[in-house]
Structure 1
């Protein structure tokens, strides 16, 4: 989990890690409450409703959770009648999607104030802007990435496949009992193909051409499913391993509950090793987040946030972001971060100001606001010569500068 969370954490999008974790928590709760349908359905609609409003693609994980819950209810052999099972199933479906529909309605009422609305017309416009050549480029890049064993998410899928096959063979050999790994492998394959197909359509319909061609965010999206798959496999492994014990009553398990004293020793030492490794990974993750937080003010995101207030109303003003970081200007990071915080499509980043005064005035006049991120000596000198003012890090209205000049 920590390894595949790196692709998510580097992009500072914790939600893509939360989606599979909360889904796994939902599955664990459903399994634990499988003999009490009422409690299980209540638990499912709460977790499902929460999942749906974390992120739009959270609906996929909501569907997985609800389908598993419905299957669990249908297999219940207690006092639950067919009518009750149908009622439980309907309540879980309705309760899980209602928060998302309410949130979607809220966004439709205030479209200009949100960056996260679902707009069918916008999706259609983005797709129509992609011709056959562009669609072919996206398709080729997608297939090459998915089928490459050097892709981390593909490695994760292969890791899951290896665990499923090896576990099935080992448990069958050791216990002589049937296990559910083959069924699990088939189920996860269907889920994976469906999820990847959804990602492919996302690149086609809802992502701009320049981002879709390079499959922007591919690892972040796919890492969510890899974490879900591995978590589900671990759940199944624990259940099947437990069923393989000679004594099913946990309270009565002692040294005779194992095939031999040596097997008991291997089991216990392995448990200690895995637990210790987990604590070390958690410590590493915690230290990584602390380091990221302590150095945030020195990043482009931190510099922009410290100077401008994040806006939620679409602006048509033109902004020039001045920075000494040539690399982040050339790779458009500054422009992208500026567009997010300023909520304007007209944001440019610039580092080069080797020009005379007339060209400087002509450049500045094309913008409404200047955002200075750091002490840029060339820009600062030109500003002092033309405006008789030292422009330290901050925001400056161009109309006020030219008026003052």
Structure 2
């Protein structure tokens, strides 16, 4: 998610990016501050529920009445459960980023090619084996912001003849393979006698030439 936000901010004018970034940080700080104040008020209220204010003298009979004792115990239990849920949620989030997150398209693009920071009009074919990512324009959206080009097209279906495949490739300046695509790899081998599974490639008359970044 951080990578998506970074790409979005880079594509905006500098003044707008600074304004939004400052607003986000201010709002985040206010949320954290309000949570801290609410927690402090709750702790003070729970402390005042005890009849005995001296902590060293407190015991099971140190509450004003049975109701305050039950509220104190129930609140402590709820806070403990809430803290445990947040802790496990954070742990699972870290595990997701370290394992499943590696399969996300923004992460795969970062491992495949160098990100472009200068606006360009290079025609780029983004080969994605996931139909849903192409159908809902997610692949094209991510590709355009990553390569900073308005000519990035995501495609999943390559069930075509060799002539059609060659004509399709010739329409672009670059081809991106962030993940192995069975059909595309098979067609590439039959048409150009090349065996590529992942990477960034420049389109030439003889097929694909592997590169590290696009030339703006």
Fold-level match, TM-score > 0.5? yes
Greater RCO (Cα-Cα under 8 Å, separation 6 or more): 2
Matched residue, 1:290: 95
Contact preservation (8 Å) 2:126, 2:153: yes
TM-score if structure 2 supplies the norm length? 0.69
Query: How far did residue 265 of structure 1 move?
Result: 4.8
1:375 positional shift? 3.0
Q: CA deviation at 1:229?
A: 9.8
Q: Does 1:231 align with 2:35?
A: yes
Unmatched tracts of structure 1, length 5 or more: 1-11, 17-53, 55-106, 108-113, 121-201, 203-222
TM-score, normalised on structure 1?
0.40
Give the superposed CA RMSD: 4.0
Any conservation in 2 of the 1:380–1:390 contact (CA below 8 Å)?
yes
Aligned to 2:127: 322
Rounded to whole Å, the distance in 2 between the matches of 1:338 and 1:403 is 19
Equivalence map 1:114-153=2 (5 Å): 114-119=10-15
3-state SS of paired residue (1:398): strand
Q: 1:308–1:341: 8 Å Cα contact kept in structure 2?
A: no
Q: Larger % of strand: which?
A: 2
Residue 24 of structure 2 corresponds to which residue in structure 1?
Answer: none
Map of 1:242-261 to 2, 5 A cutoff?
A: 245=49, 254=58, 258-260=63-65
**Cα gap change, 1:363/1:115 in structure 2, threshold over 3 Å: closer, same or farther?**
same
Residue 359 to residue 323, structure 1, CA distance change in 2 (3 Å): same
Give the corresponding residue for 1:276. 81
In 2, Cα distance between the equivalents of 1:364 and 1:313? 24
* Structure 2 counterpart of 1:131: none
Change (3 A) 1:303 1:253: same
Equivalent residue runs for 1:388-399 within 5 Å:
388-399=193-204
1:345-381 deviation digits (Å, cap 9, x = unpaired): 2211101123233332222122111012333233223
2:69 counterpart of 1:264: yes
Cα distance in 1 between the residues matched to 2:50 and 2:118: 64
Give the 3-state SS of the residue equivalent to 1:310 in structure 2: coil
Mapped partners of 1:13, 1:403: distance in 2: 32
Q: SS of the residue aligned with 1:238?
A: helix
Note closer, same or farther for the CA distance 1:253–1:276 as it changes in structure 2 (3 Å cut): farther
Please state which structure has a larger fraction of its residues in helix.
1
Moved more, 265-274 or 286-295: 265-274
* 2:125–2:174 contact (8 Å) kept in structure 1: yes
Give deviations 1:32-60, integer Å, cap 9, x for gaps. xxxxxxxxxxxxxxxxxxxxxx9xxxxxx
- Structure 1 residues 403 and 228: CA distance shift in structure 2, 3 A: closer
The structure-2 alpha-carbon separation of the partners of 1:321 and 1:266, relative to structure 1 and needing over 3 Å to count, comes to: same
| Residue in structure 2 matched with residue 332 of structure 1 by the alignment | 137
